[in-house]
Structure 1
Amino acid sequence: MSKKLIILGAGESGVGSAILGKQKGFEVFVSDFGKINEIYKQVLIHHELDWEEGGHSEEKILPADLVMKSPGIPDTAAIVQRLVGKGVPVISEIEFASRYTDATLVGITGSNGKTTTATLAYEILKQELNVALGGNIGKSFAGLIAENGFENYVLEISSFQLDGTVNFAPNIAVLTNLSPDHLDRYEYDYKKYIASKFKITKNQTEADYFIYDGDDEDILEGLKNHPTKAKKLPFSLTKKVTEGAYLNNKEIIITVNNTQHTMPIATLGLQGQHNTKNAMAASTIATLLKIRKSTIRESLSNFHGVEHRLEKVLKINNVMYINDSKATNVNATFYALDSMEVPTVWIVGGVDKGNDYTSLLPLVNEKVKAIICLGLDNEKIKQSFSNAVDIIVETAGMQEAIKVAYKLAERGDNVLLSPACASFDLFTNYEDRGRQFKEAVRNL
Structure 2
Amino acid sequence: MQRLVILGGGESGVGTAILGKQKGYDVFVSDYGKIKDNYKEVLANNGIQWEEETHTENKILNADIVMKSPGIPDKAPIVKKLLEKKIPVISEIEFAAPFTKAITIGITGSNGKTTTTMLTYHLLKSAGLNVGLAGNIGKSFAQQVAEEQYDYYVLELSSFQLDGIVNYKPHIAIVTNISPDHLDRYEYKYENYIASKFRITMNQTQGDFLIYDADDEAIAEWFKNNKTKAQLIPFSLTKTFEKGAFIKEKKMEVNINDDEFIMETEYIALEGKHNMKNAMAATSVAKLLQIRKATIRESLSSFQGVEHRLEKVLKIQNVQYINDSKATNVNATYFALDSMNTPTVWIVGGVDKGNDYSELMSLVNEKVKAIICLGVDNKKIIDAFGNIVDVMIEVDSMNDAVKMAQRLTEKGDAVLLSPACASFDLFENYEDRGKQFKQAVQNL
Partner of 2:443: 443
Partner of 2:93: 94
Partner of 1:156: 156
Work out whether residues 325 and 419 of structure 2, in 8 Å CA contact, stay in contact via their aligned partners in 1: yes
Letter of the structure 1 residue corresponding to residue 150 of structure 2 = F
The offset of 1:71, in angstroms, is 0.5
Partner of 2:110: 111
CA distance in 2, matches of 1:191, 1:304: 35
Partner of 1:314: 314
Identity across aligned pairs (percent)? 65
Compute the RMSD of aligned alpha carbons. Answer: 1.0
Work out whether residues 202 and 226 of structure 1, in 8 Å CA contact, stay in contact via their aligned partners in 2: no
Describe the SS at the equivalent of 2:99: coil
Letter of the structure 2 residue corresponding to residue 203 of structure 1 = N
CA distance in 2, matches of 1:174, 1:3: 34
Any idea what the Cα deviations from partners look like across 1:161-184, whole Å, max 9, x if unmatched? 101111110000000111111111
Letter of the structure 2 residue corresponding to residue 73 of structure 1 = I
Work out whether residues 33 and 53 of structure 2, in 8 Å CA contact, stay in contact via their aligned partners in 1: yes
Taking structure 1 as the reference length, the TM-score comes to: 0.98
Letter of the structure 2 residue corresponding to residue 281 of structure 1 = A
The offset of 1:436, in angstroms, is 1.1
Letter of the structure 1 residue corresponding to residue 375 of structure 2 = G
What does 1:114-263 align with in structure 2 at a 5 Å threshold?
114-127=113-126, 128-263=128-263
Partner of 1:61: 60
The offset of 1:224, in angstroms, is 2.4
Partner of 1:28: 27
The offset of 1:392, in angstroms, is 1.4
The offset of 1:63, in angstroms, is 0.5
The offset of 1:234, in angstroms, is 0.3
CA distance in 2, matches of 1:422, 1:96: 28
Work out whether residues 273 and 339 of structure 2, in 8 Å CA contact, stay in contact via their aligned partners in 1: no
Any idea what the Cα deviations from partners look like across 1:59-111, whole Å, max 9, x if unmatched? 11110111000101000000000000011000011111112111110000001
Any idea what the Cα deviations from partners look like across 1:195-237, whole Å, max 9, x if unmatched? 0000000100000000001111211111223310000000111
The offset of 1:241, in angstroms, is 0.6
Work out whether residues 195 and 226 of structure 1, in 8 Å CA contact, stay in contact via their aligned partners in 2: no
Partner of 1:418: 418
The offset of 1:304, in angstroms, is 2.3
The offset of 1:50, in angstroms, is 0.8
Describe the SS at the equivalent of 1:228: coil
Q: How many residues align?
A: 443
The offset of 1:442, in angstroms, is 1.1
Taking structure 2 as the reference length, the TM-score comes to: 0.98
CA distance in 2, matches of 1:41, 1:429: 21
The offset of 1:373, in angstroms, is 1.1
Work out whether residues 136 and 156 of structure 1, in 8 Å CA contact, stay in contact via their aligned partners in 2: yes
CA distance in 1, matches of 2:223, 2:45: 46
Describe the SS at the equivalent of 1:290: coil
Partner of 1:84: 83
Partner of 1:75: 74
Partner of 1:37: 36
The offset of 1:134, in angstroms, is 1.0
What does 1:272-311 align with in structure 2 at a 5 Å threshold?
272-311=272-311
Any idea what the Cα deviations from partners look like across 1:283-327, whole Å, max 9, x if unmatched? 000010111010000000011211000001111222111100010
Work out whether residues 28 and 49 of structure 1, in 8 Å CA contact, stay in contact via their aligned partners in 2: yes
Letter of the structure 2 residue corresponding to residue 136 of structure 1 = N
Describe the SS at the equivalent of 1:99: helix
The offset of 1:405, in angstroms, is 1.4
CA distance in 2, matches of 1:3, 1:152: 29
* Consecutive aligned runs of 4 or more in structure 1 exceeding 6 Å deviation: none
Work out whether residues 65 and 87 of structure 2, in 8 Å CA contact, stay in contact via their aligned partners in 1: yes
Partner of 1:405: 405
Partner of 2:389: 389
CA distance in 2, matches of 1:132, 1:98: 13
Structure 1, unaligned runs of 5 or more: none
The offset of 1:408, in angstroms, is 1.7
Describe the SS at the equivalent of 2:255: strand
CA distance in 2, matches of 1:143, 1:409: 47
Structure 2, unaligned runs of 5 or more: none
Describe the SS at the equivalent of 1:67: strand
Describe the SS at the equivalent of 1:52: strand
